[in-house]
Every structure is written in C-alpha cells, then in structure tokens.
Structure 1
Amino acid sequence: MSTTGERSTGTVYEQVQASPEFADLRRRLRRFVFPMSVAFLAWYLAYVLLASYAPGFMAIKVLGNINIGLIIGLLQFVSTFAITTIYVRYANKHLDPAAEKIRQQIEGAE
C-alpha cells in the first residue's frame, strides 16, 4: 500500500494482496499448513495401509477385545483434535496479529 503521494492502481484489496505484509502472512500460513497436512496424510495413509496389508498386526489384541487397529483408529481422532489445538495456538500467536494489522490498514484506506 502506497503511503507516498503517488497514485496507486487497483482496489485497496489488490494493493493489500500485493503488499509484503500479506505475502508474509501467506508464507506463515503455508509454513504451518503444508507440513502439518503432509504429516497427517502420511499418518492416515499408514493406518489405511496397515489395515489393508497387515491385518494380522492390526488384529493383535491389546486388552480384551481392543486391538491395535482400534487403538490406531481412535488415535486418528486424537491427532485431529491435537492438530486443531496446535493450529489455533499457532494462529493466535503468528497469524491473527498480522491479519489484524492488515485489516486495520484496509479499514484505514477505505
């Protein structure tokens, strides 16, 4: 966003999108989302592959009728909640302050 006296082209939103602050915000988001998505998908794929190709392993009883497959399946839910919690903390610390600054710039420019 131009703070000098020169005339800017595009809407305020296009200007913000082209700004270094917005690029930094996108970079911060991607730095979290892409690795976390890859890790979760690898974890889920491992579960599916074990269920498909290692049914004997997944059927090993741990306690009563509870087997390894059930435990790993339930851990999928646990990991989803953990990732959500980690993301919320990350967003509160790294994304939300930058987004708020950009929002204030937009509202001040309108």
Structure 2
Amino acid sequence: KNKSEALLPRVITLEDASVTTSGDAFQAFEIEGIRYSHIVDPRTGIGVVGSAGVTVIAPDATTADALATTLSVLGPQAGYEFVEKIEDCSARFVWYEAGKVRVRTSSQWSSQTSYSAQKK
C-alpha cells in the first residue's frame, strides 16, 4: 500500500517533555463506507470521522495523552486554535480531506521537535 509521507513513522527527539499520539490508524471501523474512530466525540456519541491522528508534545505524559484525545475530537481547525493557547504544548495534526492526507502543525511544534521520517 502506498503511504503518504505524512503517515510514515517518525523519530522525535525530546528533552524534558512527553509525546503521545491519538488516532484511528489501528482502532477504527467502517460502516457504509464511512470510517469511524474508536475515539468517541462526546457531543455526538459517535466515533470521530476523518481524523487520522494527532501527536502532542507536552511537559508530562498525562497532559500529552489527554490533549491528544481532546484535539482528535475537536478536529484540525478547532484543535489547532485550542492548542495554540496552551503554553509548552504543541501538536501535529494528520487528517483526510477530499481523498488526500493533510498535515498541520502548531506554531510551537518545530521549536519543540527534531524529527525525521523513517522509510522502510
């Protein structure tokens, strides 16, 4: 299967921080052609649609994990706006739109990371 560069595994170098990813890469189901994440949007009671994953860097693992799930539910636009208001946290959003993989990183992402794609 031809993977988008955005979906390739990555090595992230961190110092005094934690990283976590939430998404539907391994836990999702499809009904009538629509892919639903195992992450449930509490506003609708239905699995999130269209989000491939959100990777978060935060000062501690609990914050990173909670924020990654929250941003997955909010989606790339609202999630981006939310994480931009949080000091010492950054995020990388990957989602599907019009049949393409899209990526957006928060403004603090590049200052908190040094990473490279791992091609096999």
Which structure has more strand as a fraction of its residues? 2
Greater Cα radius of gyration, structure 1 or 2 = 1
Q: Which has the higher helix share?
A: 1
TM-score of the aligned structures, taking structure 1 as reference length: 0.24
